[in-house]
Every structure is written in structure tokens, then in C-alpha cells.
């Protein structure tokens, strides 16, 4: 620990590293949020600096209990960190999306803490505490099997080279505590994320008008939208993530800035793009978020193949609502959302596998018997005969999707069916290769990308290998050694960590739920 404190003190402006190598956090979050931040390209040139106006006329402080926010809603690990910091004499608050979610009675994805203690003091308080991030240094505290992110009020002023905001001096009539809280909230992305909760005083502080925007169900940037997105273009993707998850709408200036600056997200590092895509698709709001991305023309930049498919299905710009009942891609994502939640995310291999599988069906349509057999083939670990027997019992009542599902041939022999299933598995693996290696040809446009390629080059080779395992069942289990699952409930700990058997089961469940909806329980078939 002493070495880490020395590193911090000696290298305030330099590239200090994470903790000692022998105890380095592995994958602190889904993609190591803070570590990804270190790799993001930071533009050094300054642009127009916006003067932040000091106006305390709309500042509000609310009794958290009156708003229905109780200490019992805070996780035990987060409460432990809050208590230790508070007992050491530091001011400590919950900030950001967790406060918003508590007000909306939603389970937060995580709890972020901000304190007036500096990183050196924070590190001293915890046995397992890692300082990460060059641009925005934060401390990651590991306690009770969880990781809690703790930021310091002072670090942003020391390290924020790209900040486009100029703050006035503290007026004499404003308390130091209010001024520090106000500056921190004014640096945040959206007003609904600019709330600060003191659980010890039972107070929620609102310096940006976030409470009003929550009531109006609006996503509004704290500062002018263009300046905010120029300061950090990743906020454009976070705007879609927040709006999709909460069902909120963008304010007019936020929407205009998104349309003007959406292409700037291509400047983000691949790992950061992957992280943001994961947050959008793996936490229970994939369908709504994808519709928003398509509505504002951003999906063409991120997932051009899926954007072209939605256009071919008649998806119109600014059309409200998603028609998932007749659209196989949206139905797949809708059924995936039913399995997931903010505290029950999946590994990225699941949603990537579904995208690749759907692209395969678009390019190579199959009948319901083949798709159902393929699903059971994965479920039974490559036991084709058992898969074919199960599929023949239910395929007649499968839903019809165009162009993915064609008319089934009930007279198809087992030999022919087996060959078609194996060909489908091979084609799905080929789709994965194209997602990683191929690019949209230079002659293609964002409005009309060719379906055989993709510029989804933020998918790493490691992630590609994990997704490929979904379709390579015989690598895990020789034919004939299948075992029926004893519990049909999903183990979310295994699903979130990417254990292939659990990911494959969730994949199969999503596909079968899409084909059969409520007409049949595909996993409780008679022997």
C-alpha cells in the first residue's frame, strides 16, 4: 500500500499505474471501466470554454425519507465503505445514476461514492483499494465480494485536461460544502445524474434541476448539449443507455446535439465502444435502446448490419414505439430483456451471439424445424437425435417471421435435418468471423450497408472466441453424454461471468421464447 501512495504523490501529473502487480484487479467491471478510461484518446487542444453561471435560485435539498429513499436500499458493501469513510471524518455521498434509480424505485447497476478525502487518504482506509484511471482517477474498493467506486472531489480539478467549463469563485454567501457539491454536480453529464445523496443526513441535494427532469421523464445535459458532447463524446452513448433503460425522452437541444455530433463516437477507443455497447444491451433494455439508436441514426455507425435489417423491415425515423411482435431481431432482444436486469446482467457473448445468429438467419433463412432442432442441439450438448425428436413435437406452432423463417417441410428426413442443423451451426460461426474481421465496403453507405459485412471492429478476438463457443457444443460435450438440466432457472452469477454452459442455456431460452412465445413450454417436453 505504501508503494501505491508513493506512486500517487510522486506522479500526480504522470502516468501512475494500478496497484502492485501481484494483487491487480482482474476485470474490475464488465470491461474494467476505469482501465478503459486510461486508454481513451484524449484530445489536447482546447476549444471554446463555457463559463458556468453561478445561480443558486433553483438549488434544492430534499428529505430522502419523504421521497421514499431509505438506507436499507443501499447494498451492504456500499454501506460498509460509506461508514468507514464517514467514521474517519470525511464527508461522503452517493452520486450519479444510483441516486436517480433509488428515486425511481429501480435497482441501481452500481453505487458510486464521492468524498472530500483525497486518494491517499482513501487508500489508507481500506486494505484492498486500487487507484485506477489517468484522466479521472478513482479508487476501487473491494469489500464483501463487491467492488465500490470511490472518487474524490479534488481529483477532477487536478487531472481534467479536457474540461470545457470555467467555474466562478465561490460567492461569500455560499457555504464551502454547497460550493464543492455544486461544482461536482455541474461536471456531470445529465441533470438526472447530477443528484447527490447523504444517507447519514437523509438529504438529497439537487443543484442541476434533476428532480424536475425525472418528473418530466427527460434526459437533459447539465451544460449546453453541444459543449457537453464535445467534452466527452461517450456521453452520447450514455444518453441512449439512460433513455432506453428508463423510457425517457431527450430534450430538444440534447436531441439536436446528438444528431450533429453522433459521428464523433468513432473517436472512442474500441474497448470503450465495446463497454458502452455492453451497458446498453446486457442490462435488460436492449430492445428499447436499439430502437432509439436506430431512430436517431446512430445504429448505422455502431451496428450497420442490424440498422440495414431494421430499415428493410419498415422502421421509420422518429416513429414512436417498437413493433417487436413482427420483427425477429426486436423480439429476440425483447425476450433477452425479460431475462436480465440492472443487477442481473449477462456476459457480452450472449447478446453478440444473438446478433450473429440473427444475421445468419437473415442471410440464410431456415424453416422452424431446423431452427428449433438447432436450439435443442445446443441445449442437449450436441445430441442430434434427442434434439430432432424434441423439435418435431412442437415446431408446427412456431411463430412466423419474415424473412428469417420459411415454410417448414414436415416430411424432411432425419439425415437431411441433421445436415441442415450442422450447416446452420457452421454459418453462425462464419457470421462471427465477419463481425470481427470484415468491414463495410467503401462503396456502402450508412443508409444502405451490405448485409454480408460489418464494421463492428470493437469486438476483440478474445470476445469472438467466447461467442464462438456457443455454437461449438461438441468441444464441451461428446455426443450421447448429454444431461437434462435439473433447474431451469438461470444462474446469474455464472451468466454474468460468461460460463459457457449458462450463456448457451440463456441463448437457447431466448431463441425458443421468440419462436414459441407462450404457446408451449419447450423445456418441459414429454420424453
The grid cell for 355 is: 446478433
Q: Reduce the DSSP state of residue 375 to 3 states and report it.
A: helix
What is the DSSP secondary structure assignment for residue 191, as one 8-state letter?
G
What separation, in Å, do the N-terminal and C-terminal C-alpha atoms of the chain show? 60
Cell 417471421 sits at which residue? 401
Please indicate whether the domains covering 2-219 and 225-314 agree at the CATH topology level.
no
pTM > 0.95: yes or no? no
Phi, psi angles (nearest 5°) of residue 81: -65, -45
Cβ proximity of 309 and 356 under 8 Å = no
Cell match 420424453: residue?
527
CATH number, domain 225-314, options 2.60.40.10, 1.10.110.30, 1.10.1740.10, 3.40.50.300 = 1.10.110.30
Give the β-pairing of 165-166 and 50-51: parallel
CA distances from 252 to 195, 220, 259, 375 (A): 22, 9, 11, 44
Q: Which residue reads 440473427 in cell numbers? A: 358
Quote the cell numbers at residue 119: 486518494
Compute CA distances 127 → 75, 130, 131, 139, 141, whole Å.
20, 9, 12, 12, 8
| Strands (E) located in 218-329 | 218-219, 249-250
Domain boundary assignment for the chain:
2-219, 225-314, 336-516
- Structural element, H or E, at residue 140: strand 138-143
At the topology level, CATH places domain 2-219 in Beta Polymerase; domain 2 (3.30.460)
pLDDT at 8: 42
Set of cell numbers at residue 261: 455530433
Per-residue pLDDT of the chain (527 residues; tens, 9 = 90+): 444 444 444 443 333 333 333 333 333 343 444 444 444 333 333 445 677 777 778 899 999 999 999 999 999 999 999 999 999 999 999 999 999 999 999 999 899 999 999 888 999 999 899 888 776 788 999 988 888 999 998 765 554 445 666 777 888 888 899 999 999 999 899 999 999 999 999 999 999 999 999 999 999 999 999 999 998 999 999 999 999 999 999 999 999 999 999 999 999 988 899 999 999 999 999 999 999 999 999 999 999 999 999 999 888 655 555 656 789 999 999 999 999 999 999 999 999 999 999 999 999 999 999 999 999 999 998 889 999 999 999 999 999 999 999 988 888 999 999 999 999 999 998 887 776 654 444 333 444 433 433 445 677 778 888 898 999 886 544 444 456 677 889 999 999 999 999 999 999 999 999 999 877 777 766 54
- pLDDT number for residue 324: 61
* Degrees to nearest 5, angle at CA 21 with 19 and 26: 80
CB 224 within 8 A of CB 50: yes
In this structure, are residues 103 and 67 in contact, taking their beta carbons and an 8 Å threshold?
Answer: yes
Given CA atoms 402, 403, 405, 410 in this order, what sign does their dihedral have?
positive
Name residue, grid cell 447519514. 200
Amino acid at each position: 500500500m505504501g508503494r501505491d501512495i508513493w506512486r500517487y504523490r510522486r506522479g500526480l501529473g504522470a502516468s501512475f499505474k494500478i496497484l502492485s502487480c501481484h494483487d491487480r484487479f482482474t476485470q474490475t467491471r464488465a470491461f474494467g471501466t476505469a482501465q478503459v478510461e486510461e486508454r481513451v484518446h484524449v484530445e489536447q487542444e482546447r476549444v471554446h470554454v463555457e463559463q458556468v453561471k453561478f445561480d443558486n435560485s433553483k438549488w434544492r435539498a430534499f428529505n430522502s425519507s419523504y421521497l421514499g429513499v431509505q438506507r436499507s436500499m443501499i447494498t451492504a458493501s456500499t454501506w460498509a465503505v460509506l461508514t468507514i469513510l464517514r467514521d474517519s471524518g470525511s464527508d461522503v455521498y452517493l452520486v450519479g445514476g444510483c441516486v436517480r434509480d433509488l428515486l425511481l424505485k429501480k435497482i441501481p447497476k452500481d453505487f458510486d461514492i464521492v468524498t472530500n478525502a483525497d486518494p491517499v487518504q482513501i487508500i489508507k482506509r481500506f486494505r484492498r483499494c486500487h487507484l485506477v484511471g489517468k484522466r479521472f482517477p478513482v479508487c476501487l474498493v473491494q469489500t464483501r465480494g463487491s467492488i465500490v467506486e470511490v472518487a474524490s472531489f479534488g481529483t477532477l480539478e487536478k487531472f481534467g485536461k479536457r474540461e470545457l467549463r470555467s467555474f466562478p469563485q465561490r460567492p461569500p454567501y455560499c457555504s464551502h460544502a454547497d460550493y464543492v457539491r455544486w461544482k461536482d454536480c455541474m461536471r456531470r453529464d445529465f441533470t438526472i445524474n447530477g443528484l447527490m445523496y447523504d444517507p447519514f443526513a437523509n438529504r438529497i441535494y439537487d443543484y442541476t434541476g434533476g428532480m424536475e427532469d425525472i418528473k418530466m421523464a427527460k434526459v437533459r445535459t447539465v451544460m449546453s448539449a453541444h459543449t457537453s458532447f464535445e467534452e466527452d463524446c461517450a456521453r452520447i452513448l450514455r444518453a441512449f443507455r439512460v433513455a432506453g433503460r428508463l423510457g425517457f425522452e431527450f430534450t430538444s437541444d440534447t436531441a439536436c446535439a446528438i444528431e450533429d455530433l453522433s459521428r464523433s463516437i468513432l473517436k472512442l477507443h474500441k474497448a470503450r465502444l465495446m463497454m458502452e455497447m455492453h451497458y446498453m444491451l446486457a442490462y435488460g433494455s436492449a430492445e428499447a435502446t436499439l430502437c432509439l439508436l436506430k431512430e436517431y441514426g446512430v445504429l448505422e455507425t455502431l451496428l450497420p448490419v442490424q440498422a440495414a435489417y431494421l430499415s428493410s423491415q419498415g422502421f421509420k425515423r422518429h416513429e414512436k414505439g417498437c413493433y417487436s411482435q413482427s420483427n425477429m431481431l426486436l423480439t429476440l432482444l425483447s425476450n433477452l430483456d425479460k431475462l436480465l436486469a440492472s443487477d442481473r446482467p449477462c456476459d457480452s457473448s450472449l447478446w453478440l451471439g444473438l446478433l450473429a445468429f440473427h444475421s445468419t438467419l437473415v442471410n440464410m433463412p431456415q424453416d422452424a424445424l431446423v431452427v428449433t432442432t438447432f436450439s435443442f442441439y445446443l441445449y442437449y450438448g450436441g445430441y442430434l437425435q434427442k434434439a430432432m425428436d424434441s423439435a418435431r413435437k412442437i415446431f408446427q406452432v412456431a411463430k412466423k417471421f419474415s424473412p428469417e423463417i420459411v415454410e417448414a417441410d414436415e416430411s424432411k428426413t432425419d439425415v437431411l435435418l441433421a445436415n441442415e442443423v450442422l450447416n446452420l451451426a457452421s454459418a453462425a460461426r462464419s457470421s462471427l468471423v465477419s463481425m470481427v474481421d470484415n468491414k463495410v465496403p467503401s462503396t456502402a453507405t450508412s443508409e444502405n450497408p451490405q448485409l454480408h459485412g460489418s464494421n463492428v471492429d470493437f469486438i476483440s478476438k478474445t470476445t469472438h472466441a467466447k461467442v464462438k463457443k456457443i455454437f461449438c457444443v461438441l468441444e464441451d460435450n461428446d455426443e450421447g453424454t448429454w444431461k437434462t438440466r435439473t433447474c431451469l432457472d438461470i444462474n446469474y452469477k455464472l451468466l454474468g461471468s460468461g460460463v459457457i454452459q449458462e450463456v448457451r442455456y440463456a441463448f437457447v431460452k431466448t431463441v425458443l421464447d421468440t419462436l414459441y412465445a407462450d404457446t408451449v413450454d419447450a423445456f418441459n417436453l414429454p420424453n
